[in-house]
Amino acid sequence: MAKADNHLHEREYDFILMVARRLGISKDEVDALVKSPQDKMVYKTEMQRLMQFHRLLLVMNVDEETQFVEIDTLRNYGLKLGIRAEAVQQILSEMGDYEHKIIPSHRLVEIFKRFYN
């Protein structure tokens, strides 16, 4: 996601490192993945898929320069993760309403509940 616009911004990289540290992933492992990304990761639960989508949304917005190609890439990732198109569109539509385009977690939960209940 961070390289969707063919550029890994320093803030994106720093954010990825911060998330990696929280997940117990070393800087060397992150660098290896940046250099040679994995093709696919399988998330077994709905919560894992939603959390991954949220992480990708944060990475996209961390440099505060959202490109169309990034939005399109996030939309496609969301669909590949099995997230309903309507939920993805609602999130993409609302992100501009919040500071730094970061939708609060409680609002994301509301959106997902609306489309999954």
59 within 8 A of 1, measured Cβ to Cβ: yes
- Mention every residue, 6+ apart, whose C-beta is less than 8 A from residue 93: none
| Euclidean distance between CA atoms 38 and 44, whole angstroms | 17
List, for residues 51-108, the tens digit of each pLDDT value. 888 888 888 887 777 788 888 888 988 888 888 899 999 998 998 898 888 888 889 8
Whether the predicted pLDDT of 3 surpasses 70: no
Rounded Cα gap, residues 114 and 99, in angstroms: 23
pTM over 0.75: no
